[in-house]
Amino acid sequence: MELKFQYNKTSLQALDKQLQIRLRALPTLKNKESALRMEVKNAKSRISEMEKKLEVIIEGEGDSLMMWGEFDESLAKVKEVRTHDRKIAGVAIPELDEVILEIREYDLFTLPKWYPGGIERLRKLIELSIELELIRKKYEMLEYARRKATQKVNLYEKVQVPAYDAAIRRIKRFLEDEDNLNKAAQKIVKTRQQKTAEARR
């Protein structure tokens, strides 16, 4: 990162201020990145846990797949999915509150006896599927935020802080050299003035 600056005290103060801002922000950014990394890991394990749970339920339905072939799918549909946002390290993540199914009225006497139980099993499958989708979305959002936080930490730590440090050192050296030259010039002028004064005596 090539910083543009001038070799004067105003520029030195401005660069120092920017450096201090980044140094104060770094611990917070590192904590955020660490928290996001942990949440990403938790979301990932939750996804595999939910996928296994869903797989077990679907495998358990293997014997009754023939019955599901005669099931009227229009009996149950998702009416509403209620969620709320929860902040994790500054990132708003949707959390599932409830899934509201709309169950159409049906005649218990004309349809197979297993329909009420089937509707309940279907409800569980739908809720689990929607929850799994939300967790996948949560994972993607957290992973994106974690990558951004990591990039910012790296930008500050490996690029900006060293660049500001180097620029501040260069300005300080320049100002010190300039000060030394001024002192040397003043000394030379003073010596000449003394010699001129002595010569006049």
Per domain, the residue ranges of the chain are 9-196
Q: How confident is the model at residue 55 (pLDDT cuts 50, 70, 90)?
A: confident
Cβ contacts of residue 53 below 8 Å, gap of 6+? 128
Output the CATH code of domain 9-196. Answer: 1.10.287.3240
Mean pLDDT on 179-188: 88
Identify the pLDDT of residue 126: 86
User: Over the range 144-161, which residues count as b (16 or more CB within 10 Å of their CB) and which as e?
Assistant: ebbeebbebbeebeeebb
Residue that is written with structure tokens 């030379």 in the block? 188
Count the residues in the chain: 201
Helix axes 9-60, 161-200, angle to 10 degrees: 170
Highest mean pLDDT among 37-51, 66-80, 86-100: 37-51
- Nearest one of 197, 138, 164, 160 to 16, comparing CA atoms: 164
Identify the pLDDT of residue 78: 85
User: Over the range 21-58, which residues count as b (16 or more CB within 10 Å of their CB) and which as e?
Assistant: ebeeebeebbebbebbbebbeebeebeeebeeebeeee
Q: Which has more pLDDT, 53 or 122?
A: 53
Q: How confident is the model at residue 172 (pLDDT cuts 50, 70, 90)?
A: very high
Q: Is the pLDDT of residue 63 over 70?
A: no
DSSP 110: T
Rounded CA separation 89/85 (Å): 13
Identify the pLDDT of residue 65: 57
Backbone angles phi, psi at 62, to 5 degrees: -50, -40
